[in-house]
Amino acid sequence: MILEYKGINIFYTDTGNGPAVILLHGFLEDLTMWNDLTPQLSKKNRVISIDLLGHGNTNSLGYIHTMEDMAVAVHAVIKYLNLKKLIFIGHSMGGYVALSFSKLFPKHVTGLCLLNSTFKSDTNERKELRLRANKMAQNNFENLVKMSFANLFSAQSKIKYKEDYIKALDIALKTSLQGYMAANEGMRQREDFSDFFANASFKKLILLGKKDTLIDINSIAKYAENQNIELHLFSEGHMSYIENKVDFIKQLVHFVEKK
């Protein structure tokens, strides 16, 4: 489905009936990452998956897409569908967008799951890496994406799930240079949501992969314990929807149905 927004098209899917669940993909992904989860959730829920700005079939708006820009675009879809109460599941960058949405539009949100994601802002080192990546992307985009993508999977997963790995990489390579640069800069600029997430009244869940090299698992685990936030660790890396598919579906169905 398509929604015209600020002169561009936002693509989304709308499946099932019941309480609304919003699925937000990560950097260099698109809404098809939820294809195995949606049939399970839509048995009892209305499930909306959205291609974020500059990803999938949704166009770019500029060369910087802040997480707030993406959240406002998501809100346009929510408003168009006349949805009021929402549970969010955000993978990686999608988690940042979900956090931004929750801060901008708190009355809508009843639950938020950070999937292979974090409430923290980038470290200075990470911010510098994003700047360098955007410079490299202008001259060597394909190799940069391939190199970056390889780090998202554990070594065993790249072999065990080779077909899914190739499919996900193909989607990543279809991301436009503009979409890549705009999202990367937006993530570099994002604020820290540690206090906001801790104090928010909606239900929460953090799902991480033990072998995820992009996430500071120990500090997040300590935070979750201190803030009494449920945390579940998968056995593999950053791409839990591929690497830990069965457990991934089980955890998210339980989270959505939990009162």
pLDDT in tens, the chain (259 residues): 999 999 999 999 999 999 999 999 999 999 999 999 999 999 999 999 999 999 999 999 999 999 999 999 999 999 999 999 999 999 999 999 999 999 999 999 999 999 999 999 999 999 999 999 999 999 999 999 998 888 888 778 889 999 999 999 999 999 999 999 999 999 999 999 999 999 999 999 999 999 999 999 999 999 999 999 999 999 999 999 999 999 999 999 999 999 8
Provide the whole-model pTM: 0.98
Beta strands in the chain (DSSP E): 2-5, 8-15, 20-24, 46-50, 86-91, 109-115, 203-209, 230-234
53, 58, 59, 61 alpha-carbon torsion, rounded to 10°? -30
Q: Which of 17, 26, 23 is nearest to 249 (CA)?
A: 23
CATH of the structural domain 2-257, one choice from 3.40.50.300, 3.90.1280.10, 3.40.50.1820, 3.30.540.10: 3.40.50.1820
Domain residues of the chain, as ranges? 2-257
